[in-house]
Amino acid sequence: MSDELRYLIDRVKQGRCSRRAFLGRAGALGLTGAMANTMLAGALRAQTPQQGGHLVLGLQGGESTNSLDPALNLSQVPFNYMRQIGDTLLNIAPDGSLDMRLATEVDSSPDAQTWYFRIRQGVEFHDGRTMTPDDVLKTMQRHSDEESQSGALGVMRNIDSMEIDGDMLVVHLTSPNADLPYLMSDYHLVIQPNGGLDDPTAGIFTGPYRMVENEPGVRHVMEKFENYWDDSVGHFNSTEILVINDSTARNSALQSGQVQMINRVEPRTAGLLARAPSVTVQNVAGRGHYVFIMHCNTAPFDSNELRLALKYAIDREDMVEKILHGYGSIGNDMPINEAYPLFDSTIPQREFDPDRARHHYEQSGHDGSPIILRTAENAFPGAVDAAQLFQQTAQAAGIPLEIQREPADGYWSEVWNVEPFCASYWSGRPVQDQMYSTAYVSDADWNDTRFFREDFDALIVEARGELDETRRKELYREAGMMVRDEGGLICPMFNDYIDAHTDAIAGWEDNPNAEMMDGFAAVKCWQA
């Protein structure tokens, strides 16, 4: 079967190619009418969800330190299994609209300072208990607690108080926020019995699957939860995640049929993998970005001159070409790109400039000792190669960059957000306020650049409450420029999400919000 014909069949399965278009193109490719109709019938059958089967996913991003506490989700494997076993109040649909889940309605006061979430009735936890609005309230309160170490803490700090009124969660903010529903979709905010206060690692949730085997860093097995409230998802009898952190091993597992889905296909091998029999590579552009992060409050990175030197010493175009192989776009040392609402395309693009990098390096007064950049294979696909490219261009500017390769296991607990200069990635967030509130405001728990600026914080507060979009766009432009020119983020590239699956899988849809259909591939796909 030719690549073009396989592509057409995939488009039919995804509902993106009409019968007339398929038959016309199939004829042009030399297929007889009978053969084309047979293929079309099979593709159309694949649009109807089939029940049953066992799905195995081979995923990068699993570690022995992974937890069933959704507050502590850091890497890809917990992100994916939590999507299977848990629910949030709402999700963000692929088109950017709100998808009601455990909330059925959302409303606000005219000033966007008080919000109302109507809680779905009749939802059952995996242990048989009925979910109540109080479980929702307790979940939100736990993630608002500094002791929870929740990755959602940054977006919860604008909440002044919460209460239950009948079946309604009422949220009062310290200042208006027109984007609060998007923030409440944060993937850490998975609803638990009594908010997880009794035992946040108990693994009891409301999702379409329930955890039955949990071996962090090795495998996770889920079974279909028969009492799930939404029968439009959760089509497999069971699912299994095998932690396969090595890219070559993941590709081999997919091609051999050991697994039916993989994440983190490396751009350099995506084209080759796509030519393998019975394999489809899926890529979609979004808000994800691969980065090098510096702690602004730790020497020598407490010098903005040194930070600027390193920012000018990286060749973004070369890195996108050699690391992403066309599966992405150049970054601009800020976490926002054109995928975001209210993005300002007039912000100047930073260019590779070794002379200017050298100037800033000399102005920094650095003593010439090696500047240690830590990285690992699982920091992002191609992270080690990207660091080596960075080292070469930095040396051209006279900057003594030294690469220190770290073990993959433990990287997200021992290196990221601990060491002052390392490689990392962000999947992005649906709106600018959530991205900035999660990682850049001074009190964000995941402020991994240690960017502590009261004037920046004030900009974000003003922008989130500004209902005039023109003014709001201006505020976000100013915030973006501040991160770009004074922050600790080096953002050379925005990545496509590149996943792959075998022909045994149907129902795949592009989702720009995160990898593996925003983590819902195992929830929404079915056995072909």
φ, ψ for residue 168 (rounded to 5)? -115, 130
Query: What superfamily in CATH does domain 289-495 come from?
Result: Dipeptide-binding Protein; Domain 3 (3.10.105.10)
Percent above pLDDT 70 for the chain: 91
Confidence at residue 1, expressed as pLDDT on a 0 to 100 scale: 57
Taking residue 299's Cβ as centre, other Cβ atoms within 10 Å add up to 10
Which residue reads 């597992």 in tokens?
253
The CATH number of domain 88-194 is 3.90.76.10: yes
Chain-centroid distance, C-alpha 168? 29
Q: Can you tell me the distance from the alpha carbon of 147 to that of 192, in angstroms, rounded to the nearest whole number? A: 17
More confident residue, 516 or 48: 516
The answer to whether the beta carbons of residues 527 and 56 sit under 8 Å apart is no
- The 10s digit of each residue's pLDDT in 43-94 is 655 578 999 999 999 999 999 999 999 999 989 999 999 999 999 999 999 9
Residue 129 above 60 pLDDT? yes
pLDDT bracket for residue 459 (50, 70, 90): very high
Across the chain, mean pLDDT equals 93
Sheet holding 209-215, edge to edge: 209-215, 219-224, 238-243, 54-59, 261-262, 497-502, 279-284
φ, ψ for residue 134 (rounded to 5)? -65, -35
Those residues with Cβ within 8 angstroms of residue 128's Cβ, 6 or more apart along the chain or in another chain: none
Q: What's the mean pLDDT in 97-117?
A: 96
Q: Can you tell me the distance from the alpha carbon of 126 to that of 181, in angstroms, rounded to the nearest whole number? A: 26
Q: How many Cα atoms are found within 13 Å in the side-chain-facing hemisphere of 103?
A: 26
Q: How many residues does the chain have?
A: 528
Q: What's the mean pLDDT in 188-216?
A: 97
More confident residue, 154 or 199: 199
Confidence at residue 16, expressed as pLDDT on a 0 to 100 scale: 57
pLDDT bracket for residue 148 (50, 70, 90): confident
Confidence at residue 387, expressed as pLDDT on a 0 to 100 scale: 98
Confidence at residue 22, expressed as pLDDT on a 0 to 100 scale: 64
- Dump strand ranges (E) for 388-442: 401-405, 421-426
Q: Can you tell me the distance from the alpha carbon of 328 to that of 349, in angstroms, rounded to the nearest whole number? A: 16
- The 10s digit of each residue's pLDDT in 227-274 is 999 999 999 999 999 999 999 999 999 999 999 999 999 999 999 999
Judge if 88-194 and 289-495 fold alike in CATH terms.
no
CATH top-level class for 54-63+207-284+497-527?
alpha beta
Nearest to 329 by CA among 342, 340, 341, 316: 316
Hey, is 280 helix, strand or coil? strand
Residue 3 above 60 pLDDT? yes
Confidence at residue 47, expressed as pLDDT on a 0 to 100 scale: 73
Hey, is 79 helix, strand or coil? helix
Provide the β-strand partners of residue 220.
214, 241
Hey, is 394 helix, strand or coil? helix
Is pTM beyond 0.85? Reply is: no
The answer to whether the beta carbons of residues 388 and 380 sit under 8 Å apart is no
Confidence at residue 364, expressed as pLDDT on a 0 to 100 scale: 98
Domain positions in the chain are 3-45, 54-63+207-284+497-527, 88-194, 289-495
Percent above pLDDT 90 for the chain: 86
